[in-house]
């Protein structure tokens, strides 16, 4: 049975509560930037090397960040004794999570509605209200990397981190867990409908339905960033580059008509292309090629 734990209001006590159930945590500042946590950046460590954080050359990616996350109670006490008001960060992948980060300031609530209209209501799981009035939806990690920002205002956080309650947001509001305020370990797998097609479990009789949902026919009156990204994520092996090129061309045409932001669409398509296994340089070249292609008005959205 998934029993929730009560999260104390004091940052140190809260960090210890998370650690007690196996959640690795680390310190973050109010602006979400991590403190220096690795041994070479710790002034009290025998391995400390004097340097400015921006000049760090310790060789560990994001050494001032989530790689230092721990469940060590003694280290946690020391960290929060040094910085009593530090916020609490938790790495996603290292804790076995994948998180939908919904940011309403950038239209995330609209993107979430669009996603659920297309694939159905997402499975219920642990959720956190962010200090910026957004939403973290926590699932179990699918075991491989996910696209970073596939939809406007929606980020798939996997090889990244989130801030945990009761941390204080720059707005002055605190993060809090949805419902009774307790933290429940996520136990629901990442929704298969949000996976690239090649990673989705195949269900007999579903192939035709998937084709109707994500085929090349324009869904609705105009292409949207969401439908273009989904078209790429649904592409079959051997057809991924062609699907990306098709989506990039439709983005150019739809943007020319004023129905979407081209920069936003191309940024999302970059992420989607990489998530289905295309090389970043190949993705960029394909999108640039679509931008140089003469407009074909006969295929533009009506």
Cα–Cα distance, 109 to 106 (Å, whole number): 8
Per-residue pLDDT tens over the stretch 100-140: 999 998 888 888 888 888 778 889 999 999 988 899 999 99
Question: What letter does residue 34 receive in the DSSP assignment?
Answer: B
User: In this predicted structure, what is the pLDDT of residue 199?
Assistant: 46
Neighbours of 171 (CB within 10 A): 10
Per-residue pLDDT tens over the stretch 197-216: 544 444 444 443 333 333 34
Nearest in space to 147 (alpha carbons), one of 91, 202, 194, 92:
194
CA terminus-to-terminus distance, the chain: 53
Distance of CA 122 to the CA centre of its chain: 16
3: left (phi over 0), alpha (psi -120 to 50) or beta: beta
User: In this predicted structure, what is the pLDDT of residue 54?
Assistant: 61
DSSP-derived 3-state class of residue 188:
coil
Cα–Cα distance, 272 to 233 (Å, whole number): 6
User: In this predicted structure, what is the pLDDT of residue 102?
Assistant: 94
Neighbours of 6 (CB within 10 A): 11
| CB contact set of 48 (below 8 Å; sequence gap of 6+) | 39, 40, 41, 42
Positive or negative: CA dihedral 138, 139, 144, 148 = negative
Query: Has this prediction a pTM greater than 0.85?
Result: no
Whether the ω angle into residue 236 lies within 30 degrees of 0, i.e. cis, is: no
Positive or negative: CA dihedral 17, 12, 169, 83 = negative
């Amino acid at each position: 049975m998934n029993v929730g734990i009560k999260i104390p209001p004091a940052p140190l006590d809260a960090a210890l509560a998370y650690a007690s159930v196996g959640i690795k945590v680390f310190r973050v500042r109010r602006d979400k930037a991590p403190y220096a946590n690795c041994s070479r950046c710790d002034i009290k460590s025998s391995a400390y090397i004097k340097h400015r954080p921006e000049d760090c050359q310790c060789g560990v990616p994001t050494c001032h960040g989530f790689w230092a996350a721990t469940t060590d109670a003694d280290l946690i006490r020391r960290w929060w004794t040094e910085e009593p008001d530090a916020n609490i960060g938790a790495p996603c992948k290292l804790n076995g999570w994948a998180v939908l980060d919904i940011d309403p300031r950038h239209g995330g609530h609209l993107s979430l509605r669009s996603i659920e209209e297309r694939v159905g209501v997402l499975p219920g799981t642990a959720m956190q209200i962010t200090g910026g009035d957004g939403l973290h939806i926590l699932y179990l990690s699918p075991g491989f990397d996910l696209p970073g920002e596939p939809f406007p205002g929606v980020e798939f956080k996997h090889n990244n981190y989130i801030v945990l309650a009761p941390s204080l947001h720059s707005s002055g509001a605190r993060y809090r867990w949805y419902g009774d305020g307790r933290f429940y370990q996520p136990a629901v797998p990442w929704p298969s409908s949000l996976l690239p097609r090649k990673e989705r479990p195949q269900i007999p009789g579903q192939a035709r339905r998937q084709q109707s949902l994500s085929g090349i026919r324009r869904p609705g009156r105009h292409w949207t960033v969401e439908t273009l990204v989904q078209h790429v994520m649904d592409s079959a092996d051997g057809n991924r580059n062609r699907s990306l090129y098709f989506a990039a061309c439709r983005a150019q045409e739809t943007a020319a008509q004023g129905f979407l932001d081209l920069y936003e669409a191309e940024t999302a398509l970059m992420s989607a292309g990489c998530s289905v296994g295309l090389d970043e340089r190949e993705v960029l070249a394909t999108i640039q090629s679509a931008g140089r292609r003469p407009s074909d008005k006969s295929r533009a959205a009506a």
